[in-house]
Amino acid sequence: MHSIEVTPAADRDLDMLKERIQRRDFERLRIAIRGLAREPRPQGVTKLRGAEGAYRIRVGPYRVVYDIHDDRALVVILKVVRRSETIYWR
């Protein structure tokens, strides 16, 4: 079981999305993020090139970008954005 840590940038992303999207879509995001504690590399995960340990999952029209630190059993959520937006997480 991994711990989940949310960066300040990802926290701002989630705060903005919470106000702008439907409740059920936001709940899907929360469930997907919580699920990363049990399975940090779920089916459909994509490893990002050029960033060691960085992955992304698709949750409906959104992407969750995160790092996995297996040595510390930690998943760090870096960014949560619409799929149509360019991702800058570093």
pLDDT mean over 22-38: 92
Q: Which alpha helices (DSSP H) does 39-86 contain, by range?
A: none
Pairing of strands 54-59, 46-47: antiparallel
20 or 90: whose pLDDT is higher?
Answer: 20
For 20, the 3-state DSSP assignment is: helix
pLDDT value, residue 86: 60
Burial (Cβ within 10 Å: 0-12, 13-18, ≥19) of residue 26:
middle
pTM of the model: 0.86
Q: Which domains, from first to last, does the chain contain?
A: 3-82 (3.30.2310.20)
pLDDT mean over 5-10: 94
On the question of pLDDT at 4 being above 80, the answer is yes
* Distance from the Cα of residue 63 to its chain's centroid: 7
pLDDT tens digits, one per residue of 51-75: 777 899 999 889 999 999 988 999 9
